[in-house]
Amino acid sequence: MLGRDLDDAQQWVDSWSEQISARARAAAELADRVSGIRATAASVDGSVKATVSASGVLTDLDLDDRVQRLAGADLARLILTTIGRAQAQLTGQVADVVRDTVGSDSETGRATVDSYAQRFPALEDDTADPGPAGRPTGDGGRVG
């Protein structure tokens, strides 16, 4: 009887150990895959294109010649809005990786997605670029 109890206990420890190892492997895969995420967004008129890394840092910025018609402050707002659009895409991409690795219902998964959602919230009005004084122009940010 004691031998059976020891066998059961050993099986439980082995199963628990494997579950912990599997979670650690999934968390490592999550970290690896998230670190490779990039998101790119363009302004409504396509004159500005921004790419950000998984940390939200700008890694590429493309400006076409149309931006030369904008005042400096308007161009700055257009660039920042476009970067914000790219950053806002990160949460969805991270949620997909979470679902495929640690699971959306896991504590790690929820914490990871919540962290991105707080750091990079969706833009309130993503249909227009800011025009003069930050007001949406409805025309892709073109001024004048």
Number of domains in the chain: 1
Domain contains 54: yes
Domain contains 144: no
Domain contains 97: yes
Query: What CATH number should be reported for the domain holding residue 33?
Result: 3.30.1310.10
* Helix (H) or strand (E) segment spanning residue 41: strand 38-42
* Nearest partner of 61 among 45, 77, 44, 82, judged by Cα: 82
Give 84-99 pLDDT, tens digit per residue. 999 999 999 999 999 9
33 class by beta-carbon count within 10 Å (0-12 exposed, 13-18 middle, 19+ buried): middle
Predicted local distance difference test score (pLDDT) of residue 15: 78
Domain contains 140: no
Residue 95 belongs to what domain range? 2-134
Amino acid at 50: A
Domain contains 143: no
Longest dimension (CA), the chain: 89
Predicted local distance difference test score (pLDDT) of residue 131: 52
